[in-house]
Every structure is written in C-alpha cells, then in structure tokens.
Structure 1
Amino acid sequence: MSLAPRLDLRQSQSLVMTPQLQQAIKLLTLSNLEIEAFIGDALESNPLLELGETPQAERGAERGEGGDSDVPETPREEREADALIAEGAGQSDAPTDLASAALEIDRDTGDGSWGAADGSGGGEDEGFGLEQSTAAGISLSEHLHAQVGAAASDEREIFIARAIVDRLDEAGYLAEPLTEIAAALGVPLAEAERALALVQTLDPAGVGARDLAECLAIQAREADRYDPCMARLIDHLDLVARGEVARLRKLCEVDQEELVEMLAELRAYDPRPGLAFGTREDGAIAPDILIDRSPDGTWRIALNEATLPRLVVNRPYLVTLRDGCRDRDSRSWLKDKLEDARWLIRALDQRQKTILAVASEIVTQQEGFFLHGVSHLRPLTLKQVAEKIEMHESTVSRVTSNKFLHCPRGTFDLKYFFTSGVGGGEDGEGASAEAVKARIKALTDAEDAKAILSDDKLVDLLKAEGFDIARRTVAKYREAMGIGSSVQRRRAKKLAAIG
C-alpha cells in the first residue's frame, strides 16, 4: 500500500437544501406579523420590491363605486405565476370561498346561528378561546411614576419611592426585602419604610404590598373598612380558604350576617392590582386566518390582509435601471435582484396557499367544533392533515406554528385543533382530550354544594356519556384546568354559599 500523497476524483450524489429552499421553509413558520417585519427588511435590501395595491376587497368596493363592477375578472388562481408577478399580485388574492360538499352545514340539526362575529358564539363551550385584550395604554410603572412627584414631600423621598416602584412585579407586589433595598440605595431603613408607605397610597390601591394580606389591608383602609374585625379576618386568610366559618365568626366576634358582609367586601378587593395595567411588551393576538360562515352554509376562509403586506415588482424602476446598466457587473446585479424579488413573491404565494390548504382541512375535520363547540372537537393528528392535503407532516407542523385562527367562537392557536384521543368510543377513534376537559369542567361547575363529585363519580358519569377513561386521567385533566379536589371544592362552595 502506497503512503505517498495523491489526487483522486470521486463522483457522488447528495441532497442539498439550497438557501432559497431553507428560506421558504423558514417562511412557513412565521406568523403574519413576523412576515410583515421580514418583508420590511426585504424592501430595504431590494430596490426592485415595493408594497402593492390595497386589498382586493377594497378594490372591489372602489370598482362598485366607479361603475366598473360588471366586468368579470379572471380568477387569480387560473393565471400563470409570472403574470401574477408582473401585476404585483400577492397571495392574499387567493380564493377564500370553499364550497366543498364536505363543508356543508348539517341542516338536520336546525342549528343555523353561529353567534356574533366578536367571538360570542354561545353554547356550553364559551370561554375556551385565546382572545386577549390589551390592558391599559401605559404600564403600571409609568402610572405610578406619574403620581410619585405629586405625592412625595422632597427629592430624597421621590428618589427612594421611584426605586421601590421600579422593583414592583407585574401584579404590583414588592418581592425584594425592604432592608436589601435600603442597603442598595444607601439610605436608612426608616426612610425606605416611609417611601414604601407613600407608594402604598398610590393608585391603584394595593400596590406596594409585600403579601396578599397586606394588599387586602391597604384596599380595606382605602375603603374605610379596616376595623378590628376586618383586620382579624385578613390575618386569617388560611381559614377563609378552608371555609372554616365557625372559627372565623369566633375570631372576628361577629354574627353570621356580619361575616357574610365582610366576606363579600373581601371578595370585592383586587388581589393583583397591578395586572389592570399592561406592559410595553404585551399586545393583542393578531389572527393569521379568518373563518366565517356564509348564508348558504359554506365556510369562508381568508388570510388576514390587515397584517399581510403585499409585495410587487416595481416595473417602471426596473425598466429605468435596465436602460442604465451598461457593463456586465451592473446587468448581473440587476438580474440577481430581479430573480430574488420574483422568488420571494413566489415563496410568499406558496406560503399562503399552504396555509389556506391546512386551514381548510382543519375546518373539514373539526366542523363539529365550529358548529357546536369544544365538546365536539375530534382527535386529530398532523399526519392525518398531511395525508389529506398530500404534504409532508413536517410541513403541516411548520404551518401550524405561531399561527392563530379567528372564528365566531374566538381566536385559537392552530395547534389547539390537534389533540390526542382518549377513551375508545363507538366509532373507534375516541374523544378529544379537550372535549373531555370541557365536560369535566361543565360537570364540576354544575355540581351542588351538598353533592360534590369525586373523581370516581366523574369517571362513572363520563363513561355513561361514552367517554371511557381512567380515574387517573380524570384527575390529571382536572388538575391541569386548575379545578380542585372534591374536598377543596366542597369548602369553596360552602364558603360561597354563605356569601
């Protein structure tokens, strides 16, 4: 065997992901708001790109006003991709009406009403959406800082009070020990205590508290209800949580009627006053997909154009640059920019088509949910959707990441519709885990204070309704939803009954 160096030529084949393919895959995982930021970067780096026209719905309204609405327009999906690029059309022009027979409403049920478009779909399953409302326009810290200057007596007190405000958590509590704050600021503990007392006088009442009892006490003082009886009640919140009414009456030295009034007053206080204000990072969820039901019973599925900018090729500028390119390097640069622009438009177009395909299949598979609520949610996997739309499972996974769907029942993460099946039913596919959770919540909410349902009883009731699941599964789902045990619920309902 020769040990001398030599050159060999070998031929091999391999699959390599091009940068364009990697970018296209990345686009699938981005939400519409992230796509908007991505498009902003593309506009800065490629002079041939620009934002397109107004959404098609607005153009349609303008045509109606202009009297040109009688001229039929060729559907976008029937034209060549290059023609679309030349016109600067975005994928938001993709068809949004799905009239498939599989999506027809079941008229035998007689359920023709879906609720208002604000998410009040009605029915037993309200409240499971992910709709989020933004809090106040300013943060808690900004709200408190605006009050400190007027409430403090001198600059030193203002300085310490502002330092305390900066250390409050989002709920308005001071978690850091006051001794450590005083040491960090280099001030006597007495001055730090006076500054903390000043912070506790600010709006909203209860901020600056170091624990729940102090937070409620501050609010009771603000309402002029902090008498010795209320003080003892607040000092024994553990007895309130356990529902030990007899001991509370003895400790507070009040009768049943007075205790009921005190408990009602206590419930009216806000245990986390700081949450009434937002933070700069918080924001409302912007849905990527909009779903509605037309009068004829078909589903309308559209991309949210409000968060989806439209890219076009700036053809007049392209012609101007082409006429001015005299050397080979300039022509090569212009060609590369044009190819990049066309590729990006095609990639965005394909992304929107893929999202619509996945969303339409979700509507097909989970039509019962959209009609009747979470109790009709079916078990569904990524693989099932991938097989139906003839795509890879990983593609469906990317499409459903960071995407939200808005329907009359609320706003939901696309991942919400993919749930495992539990308890084999008559059809053999079982029930959705979310449907089981919804039924457990409904049963526990409706139970009587004198007949609290144990986990074993919940299992029996669920089995009678066709949910064949184990007791440990019921306990797991109950704890995941924050529903207490039968003992805890009995105490809570007993306490609520006397109030």
Structure 2
Amino acid sequence: MALAAKLQLRQSQSLVMTPQLMQSIKLLQMTHVELDHFVDEEIERNPLLDRVEPRDDVMADRLEKNDSAGEEWAEADTAWSAEAMSEKLDTSLENVFPDDPGVSDRVGPDLAAQWKSASGGSGSLGASEGFDMEDMAAAALTLRDHVGEQISFAFVNPADRLIAYDLTDALDEIGYMRGDVEEIAERLGVGEADVIDVLRKCQTFEPAGIFARDLAECLALQLARRDRFDPAMKALVDNLDLLARRDFQTLKKLCSVDEDDLLDMLAEIRRLDPRPGTAFSGGNTDTIVPDVEVRAASDGSWTVELNPETLPRVLVDQIYFTQVSTLTKNQAEKDFLAECLQNANWLTRSLDQRAKTILKVASEIVRQQDAFLVHGVRQLRPLNLRTVADAIGMHESTVSRVTANKYMLTPRGVFELRYFFTAAIASAGGGDAHSSEAVRDRIKQLIDEEASAEVLSDDAIVDILQRDGVDIARRTVAKYREGMNIPSSVQRRREKRAMASAGR
C-alpha cells in the first residue's frame, strides 16, 4: 500500500482563552480588596486611567453617557485646566511612555503622583473637609505595649532587656511565643540558658499564660499561678489529646483520680484562658464589607443593591488621549498609546460586567430565599448553583465564581453568598425538601435546650425530626452534630455534670 502526502481542509470549533478573557474571569472571583489592588496597579501602568472619586461621580456619569461632555468636565474641574495639562506634556512624550527605551524611570511614578494630585486628595481644602474626630482618638493598648511596660520594670540588665524585647517580637496575636530559642540565642550572641531564663521571667507577666510556647504550657502557667498545678493536674495537661478525644477512662488512670476528682479538674481547666493575648488590641482588623445590600421595600418585596464601597470606578481620560495623540512622534509611541486605550476600555467594560453579574446572581438568590429573609434559617430552601445558573441564563461555573468570597448584608445579618446554597433533605411526608442548614440549626436548638437529666441521643433526635417531617438517618444526624463540634450524648452528660459540679 503506497503512502502519499495529502492536503485536507477541515472546519472545527474551539474555545480560545485570550489573556483578556482569562483576566475577566479572574476579576469575577476577586474580592473587593483584591479588585482595588488590581485597579491601582492598572492605574499606575496606564496613564489614560484614573480612579473616580466620590465627588466626581456626577461628572463621570456625564462622561459615560456622552463623550462630548469631556470639554465640560475639563472646564468644571480645575485639575484639568490648560496649565495642568501643559505640566503633563512639559518637554516630550517621556511622561506618557515610561516603558519606552531611553525614557527616564522616574517619570512613571511622577505621572501617577500628578494624577493622584489631580483628584484633589491632598490639598489643604480637602484635608479640612475630610477631618474626622475619630482620627484623634487614642490608640488602643496593644499586647506588645502592655508587655513592654512590664519589661521596663522586670529587667535591669540591658542585655536581658534586649532578649525580652526580642521574645516580645515573637509573640503572636493570642500571646504565645512562636520564636525558636536556639535561633534567638544565636542571633543575639548569647547562650540558650540566658534566653530560657529571660523567657521564664517573662512568663510571670500579666496576663497569666502569656509567653507560653503551646497550649499545654499556657494552661500550666495559669494553674501554677493559682497553686493548682499538682501531679494529677500535670498529668492531665500533658495529655490534652486524650481530653480532646474525651477519653475520660484513660485520663482517670493516668491522673490516678476517680470520676468526681476528674470532673473537678475539668471544671478547673474550663475556667482558664487558652488565648490570653486576645484581651489586647492587635492592630487593625479586617472587617467584612458586604458586596450586596438587601433591604425591605415598601411594597413587601426586597431591594437588592450593590455596595458602592466595593465597586472601584475608573475613568478613561479621552481628553488626555486626544492631546497626546497629536504629539506622537513614531510608530512605537502610537502603538503604546493605542494599547493603553484598548486596555483602559477593556477594564471599564469588565468592571461594569462584573458588577452586573454580581447583582444578577444576588437578586436571584434573594428571590429563591425570600422565606429565609422573612422567617429565618428554618425556612432556608435547598438551593444549588445549577438552579441559579438556569434561572439567570448563565453557566454554573460563572455563578460559582461570583459567589466565592462575596458577602450579602440582609436584615438578618451578613452572610457569604455561598451560605445560601445548601443540600436538600427529603421530607418524611412527601412535601417540600428541607435545607441541610435548616436541619443543622434545628439539631443545635434541640441540643441547646436539652435538660441535664434528659440528654438527647442521636436516635432521639432522629425521632423528633421525623415527627417534624424531616426524613433523616441517624448517621446524618451524627455527621451534622460532629460538624458543629458537638460531642455525643454520653460526653455531653459528663460535661453537664462537670459544669454542675463547678457551679457548686
């Protein structure tokens, strides 16, 4: 059989992931903090982009609706006066093309600074208008400040004081010393015994348990301060893994105590603080800022709006583009300017599409979970990504990206969008299915309300749920209970006895 080369023409379809398409997908799943950082980077790279300040929203809207309004924008804002424009185009196109060979590296940051200045964020008038009395409030006492005050009184030797401050730098937010003694000694040029001596002294500081290197040492320091660290308690602290597994039989043997004494020891452990450093401020804490806000409307429906604080707005400066275009000298400059304009237009379109997609998904979630917003978690409906995707005409993967790390502010609190997607549990009477989250909440309520003399077993919980119309298996109840870190009925009974004993 002869072999011969042939030319054949075939037609096929394939999805090509362009860099901009991949970036658009990434934008969709970014948190608002990540998105702000990304926008700031784009503004630094692209001289045609600028962030729209709140006071500029009206003018920006006019620009978006009509490009011819650019002249009015220039006249209305002194930052875009002829003088300011001439400063940008002072000598050549070096300010516009910081990436071009031979152009000074300093021009890019200077240009970015001019754009930030043009937004009016650093003038004397802006500073006075933005004055906030809260900025004058005294800073909260931090853990390191509190420890530093005690170091000043506890150590006279400068070398010991230096070691103590180094150990303080190794404290985490809960008050544990996470540094390595050997490494600290080598870095400071002292002996390990010297570091250990200073560490022991620091472990006498307030609050009790600070400078511990693990949970066992933290509890031991607090027990010693109370003069309760006897051999039996030491054996208990040395076997916290057995306590976590609630292996009380083994603990009784190791501690050489009976059940009543063990219950007293457990009650003593409960009164300790495993995180002694959390009583102090650790600095700024990231607060969850909701991406979507839901409010009750006057007609009984729900108003779903995007939170403007999480939506960075950028402006494509068409005036600047027009001015610079007339001054381009070679093809490289023209190509660079065209690329900047293309990227700027792409970013504005992508941000707008991202906002619309989030709003569309959130609105459908609110429509599906209307009963939850009215009555609470017990009325949370079973919901999956495909249901929402089919309802709004999007792909399931798109809905998944939108709901990742996005939060919704409702009259019942702030919830992650994925909180509203729960599995379905069949109804015992053949009616509507129940949300797994609602069933979890019901199990937790039953356990919270149980009497110490009538602790509910998993079988008893199954019977109660069956009477309420929930068709659920015992192993499912056990799985949900363990997922909420709730011990078994036997262990809860022992703990309730320990708490009752501690109360006496």
- TM-score w.r.t. the length of structure 2 is 0.70
What are the within-5 Å matches in structure 2 for residues 86-101 of structure 1? none
Aligned Cα RMSD in Å? Answer: 4.1
Paired residue type of 1:482: N
**2:65 — aligned with what?**
83
What are the within-5 Å matches in structure 2 for residues 40-439 of structure 1? 40-54=40-54, 83=65, 140=143, 144=147, 147-168=150-171, 170-174=173-177, 190-210=193-213, 212=215, 214-216=217-219, 218-219=221-222, 226-227=226-227, 234-235=233-234, 267-277=270-280, 283-325=286-328, 329-426=332-429, 428-439=431-442
Residue deviations 1:42-99 (CA, integer Å, cap 9, x gap): 111221111124179x869xxxxxxxxxxxxxxx8xx9x96377779xxxxxxxxxxx
Paired residue type of 1:34: E
Q: Is this contact kept in 2: 1:217–1:231, CA < 8 A?
A: no
Offset at residue 175 of structure 1 (A): 7.0
**2:12 — aligned with what?**
13
Paired residue type of 1:438: D
Distance across 1 between alignment mates of 2:348 and 2:69:
11
Paired residue type of 1:32: H
Distance across 2 between alignment mates of 1:205 and 1:86:
69
Offset at residue 411 of structure 1 (A): 2.0
Q: Is this contact kept in 1: 2:426–2:434, CA < 8 A?
A: yes
**2:460 — aligned with what?**
457
Cα 1:59/1:316, change in 2 over 3 Å: closer
Q: Is this contact kept in 2: 1:87–1:312, CA < 8 A?
A: no
Distance across 1 between alignment mates of 2:46 and 2:67:
15
Residue 24 of structure 1 aligns to a residue whose secondary structure is helix
Paired residue type of 1:404: Y
Offset at residue 330 of structure 1 (A): 4.0
Cα 1:214/1:30, change in 2 over 3 Å: closer
**1:26 — aligned with what?**
26
Residue deviations 1:138-177 (CA, integer Å, cap 9, x gap): 8756764565355323233234434544555553345789
Distance across 1 between alignment mates of 2:284 and 2:290:
18
Residue 290 of structure 1 aligns to a residue whose secondary structure is strand
Q: Is this contact kept in 1: 2:428–2:466, CA < 8 A?
A: no
Distance across 1 between alignment mates of 2:436 and 2:459:
18
Offset at residue 417 of structure 1 (A): 1.0
Q: Is this contact kept in 2: 1:357–1:389, CA < 8 A?
A: yes
Identify unmatched segments of 5+ residues in structure 2: 71-138
Distance across 1 between alignment mates of 2:233 and 2:298:
56
Q: Is this contact kept in 2: 1:206–1:273, CA < 8 A?
A: yes
Distance across 1 between alignment mates of 2:69 and 2:435:
45
Equivalent pairs, count: 419
Offset at residue 362 of structure 1 (A): 0.5
Distance across 1 between alignment mates of 2:357 and 2:69:
22
**2:133 — aligned with what?**
none
**1:476 — aligned with what?**
479
Paired residue type of 2:378: S
Distance across 1 between alignment mates of 2:42 and 2:213:
49
Residue deviations 1:188-231 (CA, integer Å, cap 9, x gap): 56534421222113343211235556534544676xxx24x675
Residue 406 of structure 1 aligns to a residue whose secondary structure is strand
Greater alpha carbon shift after TM alignment, 426-435 vs 398-407: 426-435
Paired residue type of 1:83: K
Q: Is this contact kept in 2: 1:379–1:433, CA < 8 A?
A: yes
Paired residue type of 1:495: A
**2:499 — aligned with what?**
496
Residue 324 of structure 1 aligns to a residue whose secondary structure is coil
Q: Is this contact kept in 1: 2:267–2:499, CA < 8 A?
A: no
Residue deviations 1:220-269 (CA, integer Å, cap 9, x gap): 676xxx24x6757854757997799xx9xxx99xx99xx99x99886554
Residue 320 of structure 2 aligns to a residue whose secondary structure is helix
Distance across 2 between alignment mates of 1:8 and 1:199:
82
Paired residue type of 1:13: S
Distance across 2 between alignment mates of 1:13 and 1:306:
45
Greater alpha carbon shift after TM alignment, 460-469 vs 338-347: 338-347
Paired residue type of 1:302: E
Q: Is this contact kept in 2: 1:421–1:429, CA < 8 A?
A: no
Residue 380 of structure 1 aligns to a residue whose secondary structure is coil
Higher relative contact order at CA 8 Å, sep ≥6: structure 1 or structure 2? 1
Greater alpha carbon shift after TM alignment, 338-347 vs 269-278: 269-278
Q: Is this contact kept in 2: 1:362–1:417, CA < 8 A?
A: yes
Cα 1:211/1:347, change in 2 over 3 Å: closer
Identify unmatched segments of 5+ residues in structure 1: 61-75, 89-135
Residue deviations 1:110-135 (CA, integer Å, cap 9, x gap): xxxxxxxxxxxxxxxxxxxxxxxxxx
Distance across 2 between alignment mates of 1:293 and 1:85:
37
Cα 1:139/1:417, change in 2 over 3 Å: farther
